[in-house]
A and B are shown apart, each in its own frame.
Chain A
Amino acid sequence: MLKKRLIVVLILRDGKVIQSVRFKHTNVIHWNPSIAVEFFDKWAADEIVVLDVSRNKNNRKLFYEVVSNLSKKCFVPLTVGGWIDGVEETRKVLRLGADKIAINTKAVINPEIISQLAEVFGSQCVVVSVDVKKHDGEYEVYINRGSEPTGLSPFNWAKKAQKSGAGEIFLNCIDRDGAREGFDLDLLRKVVESVEIPVIAMGGVFTWQHLVDGIIKGKADAVAAANIFHYTEHSAKKAKEFMKQAGIDMR
């Protein structure tokens, strides 16, 4: 049987690992990202996601270096997101050692890109990242690092992304990001029910129980977190032990 996944996310700005709170990226963690990944790999993370949240592409080179360096030490799947805009950029990061890409803003602007990527690299390589925030009481998809509302419902958008050829949905709840309240389970469940492809839940994890809730109550196929893994040693391993004890089939 397929096991549930625990995914460690590294958020990078200008090549440095940072913390994210409601999509405001301030706190620089003084870590060498490739050493961080080596640890996460050893600590049994099932997958690693690296997101470039830099405000512009001026320091993209630094990000490429990070991807290339950490891919040498990462023997679990590595997904790269941020500033992905089409086939060429995807090919570039795959060549640097990524296994999948996550695409968000450019996919909303032109959903055709999802189909193009699926055609060239296969759906399994294409993760559509969906950032959601409540706007006038309704869930809404945001782009451009959470700054721009799109008027799209996350449920319809997730369905459309699947139809266009997405292999997975990476669901991030902006209101919960760094809020330490756990996943927005209502949002998560509804997105899971809207699609037939796997859904990765992100945003709000502060306790290991939150991870369990994401799988059992939220029905996610995989749970992801960033900040929490910065605090304790062997954190991914401890998280997985907790999840196993809660009856979840983990590696």
Chain B
Amino acid sequence: MIALVDYGAGNLKSVLNAFETIGVKTKVVDKSSEIERASAIVLPGVGAFGDSMKTLKRLKLIEALDEQIFVKKKPYLGICLGLQFLATKSLEQGEHQGFGWVEGITRKIQPESREFRIPHIGWNEVTVLRESPLFDGIESPVFYFVHSYHLELADSDKKYLVGTSWHGETITAAVQKDNIFGVQFHPEKSQGAGLAVLRNFIKLI
């Protein structure tokens, strides 16, 4: 069973529908005991960082995630905000602590000119920088993005950067650190290429 973590915001249903379409059983969870029973964990996007982090803390899910990811080595897929959570901290509407699973800061996109509108909304190409199972067999990596913030990795952790996109500056599109995967785009909303990413993730279990 794949756990879809519910933190109050999030477009859970879209992610659920996408997994259902590729024939994978998922369960929407908001308890640590349920996370413990899962074989893989997905944190979907859409939400504000501070508010969502508060909910995760209130539900005492962060400790459970830590154990399942670092001790049990279960595959984790963070989508959009689920990727941004990996950061040490976020500068979205104030300053908030992140999971700190990678060294980096979630900050507003700073495009080189005004022609690049923020939020970065729409389909954009992803440049795959190094091999990662997530992008296996995907010939045309074009995905749907919708965000104003992105995770800027610290120099020490740039080695975890798997894919980037361009929107007036280089945007972190995909990250992998061992069993931890994060994508800034929405695979559940990126038609065939997106479903392929989810299929690739499932193969890791």
Contacts and interface: CB of A to CB of B under 8 A. Distances in A.
Interface stretch (A10-18, A54-62, A68-76, A224-232): A68-76
A2 B18 contact: no
B1 interface: no
Interface in A118-134: 118-125
A24 interface: no
Contacts of A94: 9-13, 46
Interface stretch (A95-103, A136-144, A148-156): A95-103
A124 B46 contact: yes
Q: Which residue of B48, B81, B186 has the most chain A CB atoms within 10 A of its CB atom?
A: B48
A168 interface: yes
Interface residues of B, number: 42
B124 interface: yes
Given A77-B146, A119-B48, A122-B47, A5 B119 contact: no
A192 B57 CA distance: 40
Interface string B134-160: 000000001011111000000000000
B186 A72 contact: no
A251 B142 contact: yes
Nearest to A46: B123
A167 interface: yes
Interface residues of A, number: 37
B191 interface: yes
Please classify the interface of chain B as helix (H, G, I), strand (E, B), loop, or mixed, using the class held by over half of its residues: mixed
A121 B48 contact: yes
Contacts of A119: 48, 51, 93
A124 B14 contact: no
Interface in A90-111: 94-100
Given A78-B14, A120-B9, A168 B189 contact: no
A1 B166 contact: yes
A98 B93 CA distance: 24
B123 A2 contact: yes
A76 B144 contact: yes
B190 interface: yes
A249 B121 CA distance: 14
Contacts of B81: 122
29 contacts: A2-B120, A2-B121, A2-B124, A2-B167, A3-B123, A5-B122, A41-B191, A68-B13, A71-B13, A72-B17, A72-B20, A72-B21, A75-B195, A76-B144, A77-B144, A96-B13, A99-B14, A99-B146, A99-B186, A119-B93, A120-B9, A121-B46, A121-B47, A122-B148, A123-B119, A124-B46, A124-B146, A125-B46, A196-B114
Interface of A: 1-5, 41, 46, 68, 71-72, 75-78, 94-100, 118-125, 167-168, 196-198, 221-222, 251
Counting from the closest, the 4 A-B pairs by CB-CB distance are A97-B13, A251-B123, A124-B146, A124-B119
Given A168-B119, A221-B121, 9 more contacts: A5-B122, A95-B13, A97-B11, A120-B9, A120-B48, A121-B9, A121-B47, A168-B121, A251-B142
